[in-house]
Amino acid sequence: EVQLVQSGVEVKKPGESLKISCKGSGYSFTSYWIVWVRQMPGKGLECMGTIYPGDSDTRYSPSFQGQVTLSVDKSISTAYLQWNTLKASDTAMYYCARLDVAGVGSWGQGTLVTVSS
Amino acid sequence: EIVMTQSPATLSVSPGERATLSCRASQSVSSDLAWYQQKPGQAPRLLIYGASTRATGIPARFSGSGSGTEFTLTISSLQSEDFAVYYCQQYNNWPLLAFGGGTKVEIK
């Protein structure tokens, strides 16, 4: 069974840094792109970017380029989403998911990030 | 950048009735279009890919159609568990994706 397990709830202050994780299991982690999706409170889904664990090839959506960093550690089948300087507007639910040839069939449970002073 | 637009934003439907949701792409995405259902507090679930192919385990009352820039998701007879938010998503620009803004299907 394909599983993506994300790290837990985070509460941070503006200006702090953060790295959240997404551990894949039940499939060949290095063979599928991982996509990160943001969902702000009460809002829709936004693709932040994707990363290929096999060679760390990374693509960012224009709105998120320079704002976040995607990375992977394929030795432990884990993908990461990182911020250097959090803002209140980064408050959201963040999902990782496995990108299949036609759509996103497997999703993590989400990581809720709250940024507040 | 391909922009996906969904309409209506909210659809009020009675149980047992048909629901028709629309999705428009700012440029052709061929048939590289998926639909997702999201319920409160849950991750999205893939319903349709390739514009018209149901994902594994999805009931036959869900159907998708369209190609190019105009797409439709139809729920033939709404069940109580179908009241949710639905998103379209293009993957023509794979591996980058673009989602529509969503349509909330609520009980009339």
Write out pLDDT tens, residues A38-65.
999 999 999 999 999 999 999 999 999 9
Angle at A51 between CA B42 and CA A29, to 5 degrees: 75
Write down the mean pLDDT value for chain A.
97
pLDDT at position B86 is 98
pLDDT value of residue B65: 98
Residue A103 contacts B where some CB pair is shorter than 8 Å: yes
Phi/psi at B6 (5° precision): -110, 150
pLDDT digits (tens, 9 = 90+) for A1-10: 999 999 999 9
* Partner B, chain A 14-43, Cβ-Cβ below 8 Å: 33, 35, 37
Query: Beta-carbon neighbour count of residue A100 at 10 Å?
Result: 17
Distance CA(A29)–CA(A77), nearest Å, equals 6
CA–CA distance, B107 with B3 (Å, rounded to integer) = 29
Which residue of chain A comes nearest to B94, CA vs CA?
Answer: A101
With bands split at pLDDT 50, 70 and 90, how would you rate the model's confidence at B40? Answer: very high
